[in-house]
């Protein structure tokens, strides 16, 4: 009984204090630190899984968009054709017909290039229409042409300073390209040199 009730020595008190610290540290590690670390690891794994899923979804969307673009390009190609060189008069007549209801216009061919059998005939135009939606109709007609035509660039400005571009007359400047083929085409003095000729020749 005296042994139980005796006072602890300084050394015993230090050992008991160390034991208590060890118990507290072990308890913290087992019941606090370990669950937190496990939760962090689980969150990281979930984040990685979500990132992988997101990347897969974005790749799928990108592929679908690419397929959609290819389908649209294919449909447009089916609706248009490449006329044989030289179709300049036919193309110019089409431009004049497209612009004949504008307030005023100008149009001209600017550059003619050849790559093998492919001919590019670039053009530029400017016109004024009473409303912007009429300019949109002209662009739609150009892009929907039976002759393969690509609108490259467009600048729209008010016809008069201080007017509203959506409700008042606008002036439009466009550049674009017609495409022709040398299949069944007849060379003439206007036909440029084949830019691929120097590449293919030894």
**Residue 8 and residue 51 in one domain:** yes
- Predicted pLDDT of residue 79: 63
**Residue 154 and residue 60 in one domain:** no
Between 78 and 19, residue with greater pLDDT: 19
- Predicted pLDDT of residue 113: 96
Domain that holds residue 181: 88-200
pLDDT per residue as tens digits for the range 103-120: 999 999 999 999 999 999
pLDDT per residue as tens digits for the range 52-91: 667 667 766 766 665 555 545 555 555 678 999 999 999 9
Question: How far apart are the two ends of the chain, measured CA to CA in Å?
Answer: 113
Residues 118/181, Cβ–Cβ less than 8 Å: yes
For residue 1, pLDDT beyond 60: no
**Residue 116 and residue 192 in one domain:** yes
**Residue 192 and residue 98 in one domain:** yes
- Predicted pLDDT of residue 60: 63
pLDDT per residue as tens digits for the range 153-199: 999 999 998 888 888 999 999 999 999 999 999 999 999 999 887 65
Tell me the CATH number at 113: 3.30.70.60
The last residue of one of the domains, among 55, 79, 103, is 79
**pTM (predicted TM-score):** 0.60
User: What is the spatial distance between Cα 175 and Cα 157, in angstroms, rounded to a whole number?
Assistant: 15
**Residue 21 and residue 68 in one domain:** yes
pLDDT band at 5 (very low <50, low <70, confident <90, very high): low
- Predicted pLDDT of residue 177: 96
**Residue 72 and residue 115 in one domain:** no
**Residue 108 and residue 195 in one domain:** yes
- Predicted pLDDT of residue 157: 93
Name which of 185, 178, 194 is nearest 98 in CA terms.
Answer: 178
User: What is the spatial distance between Cα 75 and Cα 83, in angstroms, rounded to a whole number?
Assistant: 18
**Residue 98 and residue 191 in one domain:** yes
**Residue 40 and residue 100 in one domain:** no
Number of neighbouring beta carbons within 10 Å of residue 45:
10
For residue 123, pLDDT beyond 90: yes
The last residue of one of the domains, among 79, 99, 120, is 79
**Residue 39 and residue 101 in one domain:** no
């Amino acid at each position: 009984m005296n042994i139980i009730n005796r006072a602890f020595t300084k050394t015993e008190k230090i050992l008991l204090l160390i034991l208590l610290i060890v118990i507290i540290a072990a308890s913290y590690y087992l019941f606090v630190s370990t669950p937190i670390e496990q939760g962090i690891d689980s969150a990281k794994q979930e984040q990685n899984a979500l990132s992988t899923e997101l990347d897969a979804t974005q790749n799928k969307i990108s592929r679908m968009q690419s397929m959609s673009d290819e389908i649209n390009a294919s449909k447009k190609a089916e609706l248009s054709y490449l006329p044989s060189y030289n179709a300049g008069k036919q193309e110019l007549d089409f431009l004049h017909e497209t612009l004949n209801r504008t307030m005023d216009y100008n149009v001209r061919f600017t550059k003619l290039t050849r790559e093998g059998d492919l001919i590019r005939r670039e053009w530029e135009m400017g016109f004024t229409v009473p409303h912007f939606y009429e300019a949109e109709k002209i662009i739609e007609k150009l892009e929907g042409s039976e002759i393969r035509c690509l609108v490259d660039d467009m600048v729209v400005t008010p016809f008069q300073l201080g007017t509203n571009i959506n409700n008042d007359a606008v002036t439009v400047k466009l550049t674009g390209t017609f495409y022709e083929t040398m299949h069944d085409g007849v060379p003439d003095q206007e036909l440029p040199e084949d830019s691929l000729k120097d590449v293919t020749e030894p």
